[in-house]
C-alpha cells in the first residue's frame, strides 16, 4: 500500500504557532547578520598597509630572460608566474608543454615571473637566490624583480610584467599566454585557436570568464576585500590561472593601469583595467573548464586548452600520455564540456 501524502501529514506533528514564530525570528536574525557581515568594514592592517604602499611600483629588474633580447619574431610568449622555491615546477614545465619550440614556423618562447623570496622563506632566501641565478644562467628564462613575494604583491607582478613587456618585447611578440606554474596548456591548440579565431587587428583577452562576481566579504577568507577598497561587482574578467592576451591588449591595459589603483586580486585587477581600456573579456570553454583530478582518465581532458592545479608528476604523466597515446582518445570519449 502506498504511503500517501495524506497519511504523511497525519503522521507528522502539526506545526505549532510558537515554533513557527521561533523559526521566522531566527531566519530574520540570520538574514540581518548576513547582510551586516557583507557590508561591515573589518579593519585589516594588511589591507591598510597595501593601500598606503600601492603607489610604490618602481622595483628594478634583477634577472632578465633571453627571449626578447635576441632573435626574431615570437608568435606566443608563455609568461608563467612562479616563486623562487618552485624550481621543481619550472623544471617540469621546461621539459613538457612549456618548452621553447617552433610549431609550423611559429616561435614559442617562455619566461618565468619571479619576485624575491617572501617573508615565509626569509631563512632560505640566500640559497634560493643563488639557485634562481643559476637557473637563469642555464635556461635564460627568468624575469625577476626586486620586491618580496606576498599574496598582496601578486598584482604588482602583473603590472611590472606589462611594463617590461611594453619596453622589451612588444615589437617582437604577437601573443602572450599568462598563467600559473601549475597549469597544463595544449600549445598546439592555442596556436590553432589564434590562427582560426583571432583577427590580429582586434585586442584579445580570452580565458575562463567570470561575470557579475562579488568581492569576498568574509574576513576570515584569504581573498577578503573591505567595502572601502571596492564596492559593487567586479567587471567581467578571466581567471588568472591561464589566459591569452595580444600585445595590443597589453599596451591598452598598461595605459589604463595609470588610472586604476592597484588591487590585491590580480585577475580582477586585469578586468578593471580591461574595462577602462574598453577591451572585452571573452569566454572560451577550453580554458580551465574543470579541476584536474589525477584519478580521472587522461582522455577526460582531451581537447582542453588550459587545465590548472597539476602537480609536476601529473604534468609529466599527462604530457607523455598525449604525446604517445592521444589517438586512443579519438572517438573513445566525447567530452560533453567541449
Ligand atoms: C623608487 O622611487 C622612490 C621615490 O621616488 C625612491 O626613493 C626609490 O629609491 C626608488 N626605488 C628604486 C628601486 O628605484
Ligand atoms: C611588496 O614588496 C615590497 C618590496 O619587497 C615590500 O616592501 C612590501 O611590503 C610588499 N607588499 C606587501 C603588501 O606584502
Ligand atoms: C568601446 O568599444 C565598442 C565596441 O568595440 C565601441 O562601440 C565603443 O565606442 C568603445 N567605447 C569607447 C569609449 O572607446
What DSSP letter does each residue of 40-65 carry, written as one string?
-----HHHHHHHHHTT---PPEEE--
Distance 262 CA to ligand 2 centre (A): 13
Q: Quick one: pLDDT at residue 44?
A: 82
Determine how β-strand 209-210 pairs with β-strand 306-308. unpaired
Q: Which atom of ligand 2 is nearest to the CA of 49?
A: 13
- The predicted-structure confidence for 136-186, as pLDDT tens digits, reads as follows 999 999 999 999 999 999 999 999 999 999 999 999 999 999 999 999 999
CB 89, CB 133: distance < 8 Å: no
Q: Residue 1 above 50 pLDDT?
A: no
Distance CA 225, CA 215 (A): 6
Task: Summarize the confidence of residues 226-245 as an average pLDDT.
Answer: 94
- What residue owns the CA closest to ligand 2's atom 4? 147
Ligand (nearest to CA of 50): 2
Whether ligand 1 lies within 6 angstroms of the CB of 55 is answered as: no
Q: Quick one: pLDDT at residue 330?
A: 85
Which of helix, strand or coil describes residue 257?
helix
Q: Residue 283 above 50 pLDDT?
A: yes
- What residue owns the CA closest to ligand 1's atom 1? 58
Which of helix, strand or coil describes residue 216?
strand
- Classify residue 234 by its DSSP letter: P
Q: Quick one: pLDDT at residue 9?
A: 63
Query: Which residues, at least 6 apart from 79, have a Cβ–Cβ distance to it below 8 Å?
Result: 111, 113, 161, 165, 176, 177, 178, 179
Query: Which residues, at least 6 apart from 202, have a Cβ–Cβ distance to it below 8 Å?
Result: 246
Which of helix, strand or coil describes residue 113?
strand
Q: Residue 277 above 90 pLDDT?
A: yes
Q: Residue 14 above 80 pLDDT?
A: no
Q: Quick one: pLDDT at residue 61?
A: 97
Closest by CA to 203, choosing from 256, 271, 278, is 278
Q: Quick one: pLDDT at residue 335?
A: 55
Whether ligand 2 lies within 6 angstroms of the CB of 147 is answered as: yes
Residue owning grid cell 627568468: 142
Query: Which residues, at least 6 apart from 199, have a Cβ–Cβ distance to it below 8 Å?
Result: none
Whether ligand 2 lies within 6 angstroms of the CB of 150 is answered as: yes
Which of helix, strand or coil describes residue 249?
helix
The chain-wide mean pLDDT, for the chain, equals: 90
Q: Quick one: pLDDT at residue 253?
A: 98
Q: Quick one: pLDDT at residue 40?
A: 75
- The predicted-structure confidence for 296-325, as pLDDT tens digits, reads as follows 998 989 989 999 999 999 999 999 998 898
Query: Which residues, at least 6 apart from 112, have a Cβ–Cβ distance to it below 8 Å?
Result: 65, 80, 81, 82, 90, 141, 142, 143, 181
- The predicted-structure confidence for 70-108, as pLDDT tens digits, reads as follows 678 999 999 999 999 999 999 999 999 999 999 999 999
Task: Summarize the confidence of residues 3-30 as an average pLDDT.
Answer: 77
Distance CA 137, CA 141 (A): 9
Query: Which residues, at least 6 apart from 165, have a Cβ–Cβ distance to it below 8 Å?
Result: 77, 79, 173, 176, 247, 250
- CATH number belonging to the domain at 52-282, selected among 3.40.30.10, 3.90.550.10, 3.40.50.300, 3.40.190.10: 3.90.550.10
Distances in Å between the alpha carbon of 293 and those of 48, 270, 314?
Answer: 38, 28, 9
What DSSP letter does each residue of 269-300 carry, written as one string?
HHHHHHHHHT-PPEE-TTEEEEE--TTS-GGG
Confidence tier at 250 by pLDDT (50, 70, 90): very high
More confident site: 311 or 37: 311
Q: Which atom of ligand 1 is nearest to the CA of 60?
A: 13
Q: Which atom of ligand 1 is nearest to the CA of 59?
A: 13
Q: Quick one: pLDDT at residue 46?
A: 86
Ligand (nearest to CA of 59): 1
- What residue owns the CA closest to ligand 1's atom 11? 58
| pLDDT above 90: percentage of residues in the chain | 68
Q: How many CB atoms lie within 10 A of CB 54?
A: 17
Q: Residue 112 above 60 pLDDT?
A: yes
Q: How many CB atoms lie within 10 A of CB 38?
A: 13
Cell numbers for 24: 521566522
- Give the domain ranges of the chain: 2-39, 52-282, 288-332
What DSSP letter does each residue of 118-169 carry, written as one string?
-GGGGGGHHHHHHHHHHHHHHH--EEEEEEE--GGGHHHHHHHHHHHIIIII
pTM for the full predicted model: 0.87
Q: Quick one: pLDDT at residue 6?
A: 62
Amino acid at each position: 500500500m502506498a504511503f500517501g501524502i495524506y497519511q504523511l501529514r497525519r503522521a507528522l506533528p502539526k506545526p505549532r504557532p510558537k515554533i513557527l514564530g521561533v523559526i521566522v525570528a531566527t531566519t530574520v536574525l540570520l538574514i540581518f547578520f548576513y547582510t551586516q557581515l557583507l557590508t561591515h568594514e573589518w579593519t585589516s592592517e594588511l589591507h591598510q598597509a597595501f593601500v598606503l604602499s600601492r603607489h610604490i611600483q618602481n622595483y628594478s629588474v634583477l634577472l632578465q630572460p633571453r627571449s626578447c633580447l635576441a632573435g626574431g619574431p615570437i608568435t606566443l610568449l608563455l609568461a608563467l608566474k612562479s616563486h623562487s622555491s618552485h624550481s621543481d615546477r619550472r623544471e617540469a614545465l621546461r621539459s613538457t608543454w612549456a618548452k621553447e619550440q617552433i610549431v609550423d614556423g611559429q616561435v614559442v618562447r617562455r619566461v618565468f615571473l619571479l619576485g624575491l623570496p617572501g617573508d615565509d622563506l626569509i631563512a632560505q632566501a640566500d640559497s634560493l637566490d643563488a639557485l634562481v641565478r643559476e637557473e637563469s644562467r642555464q635556461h635564460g628564462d627568468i624575469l625577476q624583480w626586486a620586491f618580496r613575494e606576498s599574496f598582496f604583491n601578486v598584482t604588482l607582478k602583473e603590472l611590472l610584467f606589462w611594463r617590461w613587456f611594453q619596453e622589451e618585447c612588444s615589437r617582437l611578440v604577437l601573443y602572450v599566454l599568462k598563467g600559473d606554474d601549475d597549469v597544463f596548456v595544449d600549445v598546439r591548440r592555442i596556436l590553432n585557436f589564434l590562427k582560426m579565431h583571432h583577427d590580429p587587428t582586434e585586442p584579445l583577452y580570452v580565458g575562463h570568464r567570470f561575470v557579475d562576481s562579488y568581492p569576498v566579504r568574509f574576513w576570515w577568507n584569504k581573498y577578503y576585500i573591505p567595502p572601502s577598497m571596492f564596492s559593487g561587482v567586479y567587471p567581467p574578467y578571466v581567471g588568472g590561472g591561464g589566459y591569452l592576451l595580444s600585445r595590443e591588449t597589453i599596451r591598452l591595459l598598461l595605459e589604463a593601469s595609470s588610472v586604476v589603483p592597484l588591487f590585491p586580486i590580480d585577475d580582477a585587477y586585469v578586468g578593471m583595467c580591461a574595462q577602462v581600456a574598453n577591451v572585452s573579456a571573452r569566454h572560451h570553454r577550453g580554458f580551465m573548464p574543470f579541476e584536474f583530478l589525477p584519478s580521472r582518465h587522461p582522455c577526460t581532458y582531451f581537447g582542453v586548452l588550459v587545465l590548472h592545479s597539476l602537480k609536476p608528476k601529473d604534468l609529466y604523466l599527462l604530457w607523455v600520455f598525449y604525446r604517445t597515446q592521444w589517438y586512443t582518445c579519438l572517438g573513445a570519449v566525447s567530452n560533453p564540456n567541449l
